[in-house]
Structure 1
C-alpha cells in the first residue's frame, strides 16, 4: 500500500508526540500515607489505665475510639458519640443520647452498656482519670441513653475524658484494640510506631487517606530533618532555635499556638528535705527562670504567673517569684537545709535537657547539688505515681479547660500526687467543685491558686506555646491547644 505525504506527516507527528510523552515529567501521585511525628510518644493504647491521662495515649485514643462529646480548639464542646445531651440546673446529672446505629470496627453494635462498662473500667483501674469521677455513678435507661449522676456538679470537660471501648474488653485487647473512631489499628509498637487505616464503619466522615502513621522520633533534629525531606508530614513541639530554618523552607508551614500546658516542677513534700514551704520557696527563688526562658524559649515560652495556663477557667495571676540567690541561700541556711545531699530532678522529654541543665547550674550557685535524671516514659510514670522522686518535671495540661480537672484532681490530700496536704486547700477545692456559679468558682480557684503558688507546692515557671510544622501540601491539619490535633481529616 502506497503511503501519501499526508499519512507520512501524521506518522511523524505521532512518533514525535510519543517521544515527548516518554520524556515529559509525570504528575506526582497523590500521597496515600500521612506520617506524623508527635511531641509525645504513646506507651499504651489503653485510654482508661495508668497512662490514660498521658498526652500520647490521648492523641492515639482520639483516632481509635469515640467520646460522648469532644472539645474544639476554643474550649467549647460538641457532639461526638452522643448526638445530644441534657443536664439539670445544678450540673449534677447529665443524660446523653447516643447516635443510633453506631458500630465498632468489627461490626459489633455500640450501646449505652459499652459506655457504662468503659466508665466502670476507669474507676476499677483507678488510674489518673479516676480522680475526675469521685462520687459519680452511671446508669443506662436503654441502648441509646446513659445518665451520669454525682453528688456535686460535673463539667462537660470531665465527661469528654471518657473514651468508649467494648464492654468485654480486657487488658490484652489493647495491643490492637477495637474502637468506633475514625481509624483502626494496623500495628503498634510502644514508643516507636502506630499504624492506622480508615475505619469504614465510622459514623462520621471516613478518612480519605490509606494509612496514618504516628512515628516517634526522640531526637528533635532527626524529626525536623525527616519533615524537611518529606519522610514525615507533620510534627510539633519544635524548639525555638529551629523555627527560623523551618520558616525559610517553602515546603513547610509553621505555626505557633497557645496551649493549656504549664511547666510544673513539683517538690516531693513527703520527703523531709521538701517538707516546708520555706525550703521550697527558697529553691524556686534560686533559679533565674526569667533569663532561662527568654534565652531558651523566646517564642514558645512565657513566664507563668499562675498554676494554670491563661486559657483555662480558674487561672488567676499571682505575685511573681523574684530571682534572689543571696536570699535563697540565706533562707535555706536558716531552715537547716543539708547542702551535702544530692537532689534528683526527674524528667522524660529530651527537648528539655538544656532547660534542666540551666536549672541545675543556678541551684549550684547557691550551693545546692542537683542532678537531672531523664527516664524512659514508662519508668517515669511508675516513679511519678509511687512518689519515687525528689523534684518532678512535667508539662501539665488541662484538657477540660477548667481548674476542677487540674487543681481539683491533683492537689487534694487524698490524691497524694506530690506529698503535699493542706486541709484548708482541700476545703476550698471541695467547695469549688460543689457549685456552678462561675463568679463564686473563680473566687475559690483564685484562693486555691494563691495557696499552691504561695506554698510552692512546686515551681510553675513557664506557660508553653506549641510550635507546629507540616508539609505545605497537607490539608486538614490544624494546631490544637491540647497538643492533640485531630487527624481524622488530613490528606493531600
Structure 2
C-alpha cells in the first residue's frame, strides 16, 4: 500500500502564500495590460429616451429610443457610419439604372437569422411590403415604391420617380423574417433577426440583449448589454459616476466639467445630425399668417438662451438641417427684436388673448422650453407649456393637437430627403403648412440624380421654409458622450444611435 507524503505545515503555508502572490501578480498584469473579459463582460447603457416598442414598422418604431434597440436586433440593407458615409449591411452593393428609378441590390450570402434560418431575398421583399403597408413615420420616404426579388440574393427597388437618395433612405428600413403579420405582437416578444444581438428581456424600464451567435459579423464579445430607461438626467449622471451604468450621453453643459474630471470616464463631444425644431401649426387660425409666425420667432432671444443653457453643446442654427446633412444651405439667422415682434403681431391683427399650446416630451428639454415661454410672455403672448409622455406626444403630434411643437429632430440618413423632403410637402400633413411652390422644389430635388443640383434645390426649399417661418429652428446640437474606461470598442454616434456590436470589457 502506497501512502502519500504530507508536506510539513510551514512549507504548505509558504507554498500557498507563493501561489496566492503569483495569482495576484498575474491578475494585476492582465489588468494593466488592457486585457478584455469576453466571458463575463456585462454593459449597462443609460437610455435617454423610452423604448415602448421594438417593431421598426410600427407607429413608435421610428423614434430614437426604439431605433437604438432595433438596430441591435435587426439588420438593414445599408447603414450610416459615424462619419456620415454609407456602408453595406445586408446588401453588398446597390446600383441605380440610368434614371435612378430602379435600384438593384445584391445581398450578402450566408447570412442567418438568430434561429438559424438562412436569409433570402423573400425575407427582404416581405419586410419591405410590411414596412410600406404599416405606413410608419419612415415609410413616407417611399411613396408608391415597390420591391421584387430577382434571385435568392438580389432584389430590385422600383421608385415612382427618379430618386438618388434611395441608398440613404434604406438606412431606416429594417429586415424581418418573411411572414410577420402587421399586428404580430407575439413575434416581438421573442423576435428573430440578423443583427448582432438577440432579445433576452423587454420590459417598460429595461431591455436586455445577448450576443447572436449566428451574426454574420461574428458574435459580440460581451455577455450582455442592458439598456435601462433613465429619462431623468440626475439619475443618469449619478449612475454613471457610481458605475451602475457604463455609457450615457446627452450630458448638459453645466455637468460636463464634473463628468470630465472623473478619471474613470472617457468623455467626447461630437456634432450631431439634430436640430432643435419648433414647428408652428399653420392650420391653427392664430398661426396661419406667416407674418405672425415670423414675429413669434423674433420675440425669442435664442442666442442668449443657447449661451446660458448650451454653451458647449449648442450653436445658433442657420438651417432646417444640420451642417453635415446633404442639402444643407445656410440661411440668415432671425434677429431677436421683441419690440419689432410685438409691432408685427399687432399689425397682423394677432389676438393677444389667445393662449397657444407648446408641447414637448422628455424632461431634459423642460428648461429650454420654459425660457421660450418666458420670452413670449414678455411681449404679451400667452403659452401653455405641455410636457407629455412620449406615446401621448407622438399621438398628438400626428393629430396636430398642438400650436407649437418642440422636437430634437435628428436625421439618421444625413440627407435632406429624410427631413425636408419627407416632412414639409403638403401631403405630409405634419405641421399644417402647404405651399405648392415648395412641393415643386422638393419633387425636383428628390428626382434629381445630380448631387449638386439636389443641394441647390433643397437650399431653395429651405429658404421658403425659413422665410415663411414654418417653424423656429433655433439650435444645432452636439452630443456629449461619456463611457467607463473599462469599455473598449465604443464609438459615439451623431444620431444618438451607437452600435454596441464592437464592445468589449477590459478585465
TM-score (norm 1): 0.95
Helix, strand or coil: the match of 2:487?
coil
Following superposition, the deviation at residue 367 of structure 1 comes to: 0.4
Aligned counterparts of 2:84 and 2:260: Cα–Cα separation in 1: 28
Provide the C-alpha distance between the structure 1 equivalents of 2:254 and 2:501, rounded to a whole number of angstroms: 30
Residue equivalent to 2:297: 284
Q: 1:417 to 1:21 in 2, by over 3 A?
A: same
Q: How is 1:88-127 mapped onto 2 (pairs within 5 angstroms)?
A: 88-127=97-136
Q: Distance in 2 between matches of 1:22 and 1:125?
A: 58
Structure 1 stretch displaced more, 90-99 or 222-231: 90-99
Q: Secondary structure at the match of 1:321?
A: coil
**Structure 1: 5+ residue stretches without partners:** 1-5
Matched, 1:157 2:168: yes
Aligned-partner Cα distance in 2 for 1:108–1:15: 52
State yes or no: 1:424 paired with 2:452. no
What is the aligned counterpart of 2:420 among 380, 399, 407?
Answer: 407
- Residue 471 of structure 2 is matched in structure 1 by 458
CA separation of 1:254 and 1:15: change in aligned 2, threshold 3 A: closer
Matched pairs, number: 486
Structure 1 residue aligned with 2:193: 179
Q: Which residue of 2 aligns with 1:166?
A: 177
Structure 1 match to 2:72: 63
Q: Is the 8 A contact 1:318 1:450 kept in 2?
A: yes
Aligned to 1:83: 92
Counterpart check, 1:226 vs 2:230: no
Q: Deviations over 1:126-167 (max 9, x none)?
A: 111111001311110122111101121242101222100111
Inter-CA distance 341–16: structure 2 relative to 1 (3 Å threshold): same
Deviation at 1:25, TM superposition (A): 11
In the alignment, the residues of structure 1 paired with residue 57 and residue 248 of structure 2 have an alpha-carbon distance, to the nearest angstrom, of: 26
Q: Distance in 2 between matches of 1:250 and 1:26?
A: 21
When the two chains are superposed, the root-mean-square deviation of aligned CA atoms in Å is: 2.0
1:236 equivalent to 2:249? Answer yes
Note closer, same or farther for the CA distance 1:146–1:337 as it changes in structure 2 (3 Å cut). same
Judged with a 3 Å threshold, the aligned counterparts in structure 2 of structure 1 residues 394 and 183 are, in CA distance, closer, same or farther, namely same
Q: What residue is the counterpart of 1:3 in the other structure?
A: none
2:223 to 210, 213, 216: 210
Counterpart in the other structure of 2:57: 48
2:295–2:345 Cα contact (<8 Å) kept: yes
Give, in whole Å, the separation in 2 of the partners of 1:306 and 1:102: 41
Contact persistence 1:477–1:489 (CA under 8 A): yes
Does residue 304 (structure 1) correspond to residue 313 (structure 2)? The answer is no
Q: Once the 2 structures are TM-superposed, how far is the Cα of residue 12 of structure 1 from its aligned partner?
A: 5.8
CA deviation after TM superposition for structure 1 residue 108, in Å: 2.3
Report the CA distance shift for 1:184/1:455 in structure 2 as closer, same or farther (over 3 A): same
Aligned-partner Cα distance in 2 for 1:246–1:77:
32
CA distance in 2, matches of 1:76, 1:16: 56
The one-character-per-residue Cα deviations of 1:178-197 (angstroms, maximum 9, x if unpaired) are 1110001011123x111111
Match of 2:144 among 135, 138, 141: 135
CA 1:284–1:15: 2 relative to 1, 3 Å = closer
Deviation at 1:86, TM superposition (A): 2.3
Partner residue in 1 for 2:3:
none
Q: After superposition, what is the alpha-carbon deviation per residue over 1:395-435, rounded to whole angstroms, capped at 9, x for unaligned?
A: 11121111111111000000000000000000010011111
Structure 2 CA distance for partners of 1:369 and 1:97, relative to 1, 3 Å? same
8 Å contact from structure 1 (residues 93, 154) kept in 2: no
| Mapped partners of 2:251, 2:20: distance in 1 | 47
Contact 2:162 2:449 in 1 (8 A): no
For the pair 1:145 / 2:154, whether they are aligned, the reply is: yes
Q: Which moved more, 1:31-40 or 1:118-127?
A: 31-40
Please say if 1:34 is aligned against 2:43: yes
- 1:438-489 superposed Cα distances (whole Å, 9 cap, x missing partner): 2221211111010000000000000000000000111111111111011111
Are 2:202 and 1:188 equivalent residues in the alignment? Answer: yes
1:10 positional shift: 3.8
Moved more, 301-310 or 32-41: 32-41
Q: Deviations over 1:192-212 (max 9, x none)?
A: 111111111111121011111
Contact kept? 2:74, 2:175, Cα under 8 Å: yes
CA pair 329-91 structure 1, distance change in 2 beyond 3 A = same
Say whether the 8 Å CA contact 2:352–2:382 is kept in structure 1. yes
Give, in angstroms, the shift of residue 89 of structure 1: 3.1
* In structure 2, C-alpha distance between the alignment counterparts of 1:93 and 1:19, rounded to whole Å: 68
Is it true that 1:256 corresponds to 2:269 in the alignment? Answer: yes
Is the Cα–Cα contact under 8 Å of residues 45 and 175 in structure 1 kept in the other structure? no
Q: What is the match of residue 329 of structure 1? A: 342
What SS does the corresponding residue of 1:153 show, helix, strand or coil? Answer: coil
Distance in 1 between residues matched to 2:438 and 2:278, nearest whole Å: 19
Name the structure 1 match of 2:4: none
Deviation for aligned residue 1:361: 0.7
For residues 41 and 175 of structure 1, the distance between their equivalents in structure 2, rounded to whole angstroms, comes to 17
Measured after TM superposition, the shift of residue 334 of structure 1 is 1.4
SS of 2:277's equivalent in the other structure is strand
- Unaligned runs of 5+ residues in structure 2 are 1-6
Residues 24 and 95 from structure 1, CA distance in 2 versus in 1: closer, same or farther, beyond 3 angstroms? closer
Give, in angstroms, the shift of residue 80 of structure 1. 0.8
Counterparts of 1:363-402 in structure 2, within 5 Å, are: 363-402=376-415
